[in-house]
């Protein structure tokens, strides 16, 4: 909050003796909030000294006190016109501009006041506050550091400076100031909370937690805010921030299974398998019947291509929660990655029986059947699946692929299915690629090139699409583009960036 000070009684413009007494009296009335009594006094002063800057400054203070900000601004502007070097008039005008929510103009006025009087603590303090209010923390630290140096005992200045230092990501500067406030007993509960929230917003959740940990109510509010922020950060894909917040507030409340789960998920996304596994195991210990914890733990192992422990986790899980389709799907996927196809198939059929609408089970199942060459079985599964879920793009994608593998291929049917997949999910690169291949087989090279180009646009590391494109360009006589695509193909192959569908499945299922 800006401090409005009564200033301008010691002025450069000479005034008659009796006028000075009158002005002192008027200033006292304003200071005490007796605006009605001050009104005739100020009128008389202005009548007697219409050219005195101090008289207009006094009028400005009166109007400011009455809440008539526009009139106050005019009066301070008049005071400055009459005496451009009046520091108090500049400060008062700046404060009025702040009230009028004209922060940029206010900043200029404060800066002008400081040019005239560099050690004006009020101007330094208020300038720092306005800059801080506009999230300009780094610039705010400069005037506030000066104000603090002028009066280290002023708690308001110290708090403002500490806030600006936190906002500027200067923990080493902020911490001694907070300790200083603590030592002086100036850290009131509300200040503590504000500083804690600032630490939290600036990525130092643990420091914020330390500030409020001794006040249960504040700690509870802080915990809840931090928890929500951690969840939002996780939703926004900011996993490092999620982990940092959760680690910071761990000591404020007994962590719940949900807490461990979120922290584990963050570490999972950050590829910290050890911590992810530890946190998720803690979650399982606390909620042995909650399927999500097992699922995520299993996925940690699958992500790192260690299906054996994943199988162990999922087996444990389905014993406790045989009703949850995604746990069976996780087990099926683990068997698939471990090349135990029969087990995988059995488990995936069970998953589909348990929930015929569970799309990921069909995805894994069809991917596996097609990889193994069981196209006819895949088609059977897909026919049933499409009847249940006619709007799931993946089903048409796999259907098209399975049809394409038949010895006698009905190319038009393949194209129809893949077009449906593309129509339902235009951003799915693999469907464009398969459609491109089918169109190429149907001797429609122009359309084929169009689809293949879309696929590499959506997923540049799709090496096979580059290869097919190079072939098609060569056939059409465009050797330059053919060479370009071939180079792209070779580079991707060399870097090993081309991934498999299974890896994609793991990624696409994570966090579900």
Partner 1 sequence: MPVFRLLLLLSLALAGYGQMRAQASAMQEKAAAKAKAGAHPAEARSLFDSAMLYHQRRDFSKSIATLERLIVLEPDRAAAHIMLGLDLFQTGRAREALEPFKRGITLDPASVEGLFYLGLCYLSMDREDEARKAFDRLAAKAPSDADQTYLLMKGLSRMSTAMLGRLSSLGQDSARMHQVRAEYYEMQDDPDRAIQELEEAIRERPDLPSLHYAVGVVYWKKSEPQRAKVALTRVIELDPRHFMARLRLGMVLLELNEEASAAVQFRAALTEEPGLNLAYLGLGKALYKQGAMEAAVPQLQRYIELTPDDPAPHYILSQIYRRLEKSDQSQRELAIFKAKTSQTKEGQSEMK
Q: Which residues bind partner 1 (CB under 8 A)?
A: 214, 216-217, 219-221, 251-254, 289-290, 318-325, 346, 349-350, 353-356
Nearer to partner 1, 111 or 221 (CB): 221
CB distance 287 to 315 below 8 Å? no
Nearer to partner 1, 142 or 250 (CB): 250
Phi-psi group of 213: left, alpha or beta (phi > 0 → left; psi -120 to 50 → alpha; rest → beta): alpha
Report the nearest approach of partner 1 to the CB of residue 242 (Å): 21
- DSSP state letters, 223-266: HHHHHHHHHHHHHTT-HHHHHHHHHHHTTTSPPPHHHHHHHHHH
CA-based angle 134:135:139, to the nearest 5? 95
Nearer to partner 1, 487 or 512 (CB): 512
Report the nearest approach of partner 1 to the CB of residue 220 (Å): 4
- Residue 272, number of CB atoms within 10 A of its CB: 17
Report the nearest approach of partner 1 to the CB of residue 354 (Å): 5
Going by C-alpha positions, the residue among 395, 401, 347, 350 that lies closest to residue 373 is: 401
Nearer to partner 1, 144 or 317 (CB): 317
CB distance 402 to 379 below 8 Å? yes
Nearer to partner 1, 145 or 253 (CB): 253
> Which tokens go with 468?
């097919």
Report the nearest approach of partner 1 to the CB of residue 393 (Å): 24
Report the nearest approach of partner 1 to the CB of residue 244 (Å): 20
CB distance 124 to 150 below 8 Å? yes
Q: Token pair 């506009």 is at which residue?
A: 134
Task: Report d(CA 204, CA 195) in Å as an integer.
Answer: 11
Report the nearest approach of partner 1 to the CB of residue 253 (Å): 5
- Residue 345, number of CB atoms within 10 A of its CB: 19
Nearer to partner 1, 111 or 247 (CB): 247
Nearer to partner 1, 23 or 290 (CB): 290
Task: Report d(CA 377, CA 233) in Å as an integer.
Answer: 43
Report the nearest approach of partner 1 to the CB of residue 359 (Å): 15
């Amino acid at each position: 909050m800006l401090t409005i000070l009564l200033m301008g009684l010691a002025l450069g413009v000479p005034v008659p003796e009796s006028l000075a007494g009158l002005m002192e009296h008027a200033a006292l009335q304003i200071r005490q909030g007796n605006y009605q009594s001050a009104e005739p006094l100020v009128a008389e002063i202005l009548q007697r000294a219409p050219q005195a800057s101090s008289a207009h400054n006094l009028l400005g203070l009166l109007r400011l006190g009455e809440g008539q900000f526009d009139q106050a601004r005019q009066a301070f502007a008049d005071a400055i016109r009459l005496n451009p070097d009046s520091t108090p008039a500049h400060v008062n005008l700046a404060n009025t501009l702040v009230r009028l929510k004209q922060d940029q103009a206010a900043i200029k006025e404060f800066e002008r006041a400081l040019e005239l009087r560099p050690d004006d603590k009020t101007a330094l303090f208020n300038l720092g506050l306005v800059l801080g209010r506009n999230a300009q923390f780094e610039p705010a630290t400069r005037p506030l550091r000066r104000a603090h140096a002028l009066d280290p005992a002023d708690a308001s200045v110290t708090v403002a400076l500490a806030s600006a230092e936190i906002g500027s990501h200067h923990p080493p500067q902020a911490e001694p100031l907070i300790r200083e406030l603590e030592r002086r007993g100036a850290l009131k509960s509300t200040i503590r909370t504000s500083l804690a929230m600032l630490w939290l917003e600036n990525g130092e959740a643990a420091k914020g937690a330390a500030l409020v940990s001794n006040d249960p109510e504040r700690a509870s509010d802080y915990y809840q805010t931090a928890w929500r922020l951690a969840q939002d950060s996780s939703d926004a894909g900011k996993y490092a921030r999620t982990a940092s917040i959760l680690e910071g507030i761990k000591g404020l409340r007994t962590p719940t299974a949900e807490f461990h789960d979120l922290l584990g998920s963050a570490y999972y996304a950050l590829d910290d398998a050890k911590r992810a596994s530890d946190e998720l195991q803690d979650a399982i210990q606390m909620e042995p019947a909650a399927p999500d914890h097992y699922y995520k733990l299993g996925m940690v192992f699958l992500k790192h291509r260690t299906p054996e422990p994943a199988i162990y986790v999922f087996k444990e899980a389905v014993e406790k929660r045989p009703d949850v389709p995604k746990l069976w799907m996780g087990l099926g996927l683990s068997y698939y990655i471990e090349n135990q196809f029969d087990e995988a198939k059995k488990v995936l059929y069970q998953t589909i029986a348990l929930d015929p609408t569970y799309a990921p089970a069909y995805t894994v199942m069809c991917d596996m059947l097609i990889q193994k060459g069981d196209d006819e079985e895949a088609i059977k599964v897909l026919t049933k699946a499409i009847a249940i879920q006619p709007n799931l793009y993946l089903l048409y994608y796999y259907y098209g692929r399975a049809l394409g593998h038949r010895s006698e291929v009905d190319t038009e049917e393949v194209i129809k299915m893949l077009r449906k997949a593309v129509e339902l999910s235009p951003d799915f690169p693999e469907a464009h690629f398969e459609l491109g291949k089918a169109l190429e087989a149907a001797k429609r090279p122009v359309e084929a090139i169009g689809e293949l180009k879309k696929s590499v646009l959506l997923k540049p590391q799709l090496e096979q699409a580059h290869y097919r494109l190079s072939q098609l360009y060569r056939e059409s006589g465009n050797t330059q583009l053919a060479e370009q695509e071939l180079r792209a193909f070779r580079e991707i192959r060399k870097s090993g960036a081309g991934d498999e569908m299974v890896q994609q499945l793991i990624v696409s299922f994570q966090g579900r």
